[in-house]
Amino acid sequence: MSEQENMELIIFNIINYGGTAKSLSYEALAAAEKGDYDEADRLLKEADQNLIESHKVQTSLISKEAAGEKTEVSLLMVHAQDHLMTAIEAKSLIECMISMHKKMDALK
């Protein structure tokens, strides 16, 4: 596998894990909207695991760059970073929304 192919694989892993985390977070919100908070919690934990995996990939790139191995910044790399950041932010906001759902249900 060439160095470029290896980098593309690394980038696609960031995108895959980030996208999966975001999808799971939205599934958790849908479960919470139905009152299924156990499922929502399970899905958020699964989203966390995907974010952890994505961070591992990202951290390996950062570590290599800190050690002097320069990483080419491509549009695909920028897209991967954007994908990961929006997944993290979506999960954070969804956690707040689920908390609000729980509070509203408790008032019923």
Give the residue among 33, 31, 34 at the shortest CA–CA distance from 44.
31
Instruction: Give the separation between CA 25 and CA 48, rounded to whole angstroms.
Output: 9
Instruction: State yes or no: is 101 an active-site residue.
Output: no
Give Cβ neighbours of residue 44 (< 8 Å, ≥ 6 apart).
Answer: 24, 25, 28, 91, 94, 95, 98
| Catalytic member of 55, 79, 83, 101 | 79
Residue 48 assigned as binding residue: no
Detail the residues annotated as belonging to a binding site: 82
Active-site positions read 79
Detail the residues annotated as belonging to a binding site for Mg(2+): 82
